[in-house]
Amino acid sequence: RGPVHEAFGAPAANDPQPTEVVSERPPEPIEEEAPEFKAEGAIWIPGYWDWDVATKKHIWVSGMWRVPPPNMRWVPTYWTQASGGWQRVPGFWVSAQATELDYHATPPESLEAGPNTPRPGDNYFYVPGCWNYYDSGYRWRAGYWAPYRDDYVWSPDRWYWTPRGCVFTAGFWDWRPGVRGSLFAPI
């Protein structure tokens, strides 16, 4: 029981939202020893403290071995002091070529309404629309149909909230869950 490590699979959301402010400071990170069992090409991604809304307590999400999505790197989860307490800043995957993160104001609410054309074939899936930021501000990119790729899962474009502003991650192909790595039970 417990949350799945964000590096394994983050919930999809169209609109970035600040995380809950909690009054209790998170404990110091637990130093974990990575298990010997790991998938070929996997990297160790450390665990982090999350906030369990049901119990109103911090819960440790154990680190994991993860085969990174092709050409992506992990930006780790962390906690920051906020007005009235502490906020967890979610971790996320970014392009391995990115040398720094670009922060922007929160994008407008999503305009996504689903496909407005029929699927062009059985081997296509719908990629939701999203807001993209340009020098002149936000512009909407409509959703579209894209062909499947065997052994991969599409992770759509996504904005992530951080205290410095929102960060955009362009959609990318990820490994299917069965070959991503090994999850370990939270404590």
Please give the backbone phi and psi of residue 177, each rounded to the nearest 5 degrees, phi first. -55, -35
Burial of residue 171, with CB atoms counted within 10 A of its CB: 0-12 exposed, 13-18 middle, 19 or more buried:
middle
Per-residue pLDDT of the chain (187 residues; tens, 9 = 90+): 678 899 998 766 667 889 899 999 999 999 998 888 888 899 999 999 999 988 999 999 999 999 999 999 999 999 999 999 999 999 999 999 999 999 999 999 999 999 999 999 999 999 999 999 998 899 999 999 999 999 899 999 999 999 999 999 999 999 998 888 877 765 5
